[in-house]
């Protein structure tokens, strides 16, 4: 293909010098105009291509968030509900002093007595341990059957939770119905669930050991192991419920929240958990029976025997008076913080669901405190005490819901 300059040279050889010069000037002028006209278009095209390449590279680094199917969320929710029932059953088992009636443990379940001879054999096993010798020596076999069935129901329910969790989990993994986040959380829940079962038996063993030497000793499980057992149940429940909320109740960003409000909500959630754990020590030491008055403990705000043990730190977890005092202080502190959170929410631009969660949390904290005081004043009846323990898990549920609603909101 000939160049433009060569074309001009060829034309010029056929024309007179004057005519040739005129034509050259005209063609060069038109050529420059055409170049000027095309230049912006070429620049625009190059710029567009460059921008397109930049966008392609940017989007190639963005990973689309994986979404879990709704039925995975319902599975998490169902498992959390079963754990809630297990906590309630465990509280009743402890309050009825049934937890030491079964003196052995098998992974897949103990044999169910079906004849009188088998019941007598089971009763004979129980008679070899401290609780019968020191506390229930007059118990009949019919009375033993009742506490045995209570412990059996608690253990069987725990094994049902394991089946309902692990069998569907295996199916979801094989069919690739889990997002990456859910895979990690399901593994954590697996470890917690297995640890919960092992901790339950480790707790029971502490009540079967021959360590009750003093006449004033009461055969019971270690309060440390009891608190660990309950704590693992609360943590497992929190993981399950949080995952169900993440999948079934996604947050719509329709408001803002202050950093102070979020910080106070997180602190409130931790305080609810800590108060529940102090309640486990109250239960483990029967500390609810030492001072059955409120707001004072007896005739004093601070009883004389609150620091009677040596070393001093042992009073926090081993002195029933101190344990009850701490539980009172933690309970009042929890209600105070949640009430402050409610007041702050009235002045905040929170979404409707977040405001509802805050209101429900503050309202129920007062109900829970009232239930605790009633339980104390009536000398810890089984029905009220079991309701109070279940109430602590309900309060934690509401705190988890509130934190879930605040998590993705813009912080100001």
Q: What is the pTM of this model?
A: 0.82
Q: Answer for the pair 180, 96: CB distance below 8 angstroms, yes or no.
A: no
Rounded Cα–Cα distance for residues 243 and 249 (Å): 10
> In 3-state terms, what secondary structure has residue 393?
helix
Burial 236-253 (b: 16+ CB within 10 A, else e): bbbbbbbbbbbbeeebee
> In 3-state terms, what secondary structure has residue 257?
strand
Residue 299: other Cβ atoms inside 10 A: 7
Answer yes or no: is pLDDT of 42 > 90: no
Q: Radius of gyration over alpha carbons of the chain, in Å?
A: 36
Contacts of 371 (CB under 8 A, 6+ apart): 384, 387, 388, 391
Rounded Cα–Cα distance for residues 176 and 48 (Å): 40
pLDDT in tens, 287-320: 999 999 999 999 999 999 999 999 999 999 999 9
More confident residue, 349 or 194: 194
Confidence band for 164, pLDDT divided at 50, 70 and 90: very high
Ramachandran sector of residue 255 (left: φ over 0; alpha: ψ -120 to 50; beta: rest): beta
Length of the chain: 412
Confidence band for 203, pLDDT divided at 50, 70 and 90: very high
Rounded Cα–Cα distance for residues 160 and 361 (Å): 30
Residue 12: other Cβ atoms inside 10 A: 15
Q: Give the Cα-Cα-Cα angle 275, 300, 322 (nearest 5 degrees).
A: 35
In the block, residue with structure tokens 């000027």: 36
Q: How many CA atoms lie within 13 A of 247 on its CB side?
A: 23
pLDDT in tens, 210-244: 888 776 678 899 999 999 999 999 999 999 999 99
Residue 342: other Cβ atoms inside 10 A: 17
pLDDT in tens, 116-135: 999 999 999 999 999 999 99
């Amino acid at each position: 293909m000939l160049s433009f300059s060569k074309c001009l040279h060829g034309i010029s050889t056929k024309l007179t010098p004057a005519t040739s010069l005129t034509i050259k000037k005209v063609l060069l002028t038109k050529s420059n105009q055409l170049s000027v006209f095309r230049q912006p278009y070429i620049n625009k095209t190059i710029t567009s291509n460059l921008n397109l390449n930049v966008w392609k590279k940017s989007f190639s680094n963005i990973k689309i968030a994986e979404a879990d199917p709704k039925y995975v969320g319902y599975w998490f929710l169902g498992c959390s509900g079963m754990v809630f029932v297990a906590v309630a059953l465990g509280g009743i088992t402890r309050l009825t002093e049934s937890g030491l009636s079964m003196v052995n443990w098998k992974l897949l379940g103990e044999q169910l007595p079906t004849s009188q001879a088998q019941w007598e054999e089971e009763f004979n096993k129980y008679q070899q341990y401290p609780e019968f010798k020191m506390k229930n020596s007059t118990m009949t076999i019919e009375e033993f059957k009742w506490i045995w069935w209570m412990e059996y129901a608690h253990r069987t329910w725990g094994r049902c939770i394991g089946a309902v969790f692990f069998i569907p989990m295996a199916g979801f993994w094989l069919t690739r119905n889990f997002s990456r986040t859910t895979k990690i959380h399901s593994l954590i829940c697996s470890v917690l669930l297995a640890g919960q079962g092992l901790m339950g038996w480790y707790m029971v063993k502490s009540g079967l050991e021959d360590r009750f030497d003093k006449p004033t000793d009461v055969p019971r499980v270690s309060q440390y192991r009891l608190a660990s057992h309950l704590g693992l149940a609360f943590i497992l429940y929190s993981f399950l419920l949080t995952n169900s909320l993440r999948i079934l109740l996604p947050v719509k960003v329709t408001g803002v929240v202050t950093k102070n409000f979020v910080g106070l909500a997180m602190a409130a959630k931790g305080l609810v958990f800590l108060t529940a754990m102090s309640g486990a020590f109250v239960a483990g030491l029967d500390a609810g029976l030492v001072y059955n008055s409120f707001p004072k403990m007896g005739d004093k705000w601070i009883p004389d025997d609150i620091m009677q043990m040596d070393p001093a730190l042992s009073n926090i977890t081993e002195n029933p008076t101190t344990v009850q005092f701490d539980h009172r202080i933690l309970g009042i502190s929890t209600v105070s913080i949640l009430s402050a959170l409610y007041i702050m929410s009235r002045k905040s631009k929170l979404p409707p669901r977040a405001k509802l969660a805050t209101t429900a949390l503050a309202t129920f904290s007062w109900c829970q405190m009232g239930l605790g005081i009633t339980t104390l004043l009536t000398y810890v009846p089984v029905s009220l005490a079991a309701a109070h323990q279940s109430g602590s898990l309900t309060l934690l549920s509401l705190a988890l819901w509130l934190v879930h609603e605040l998590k993705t909101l813009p912080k100001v």
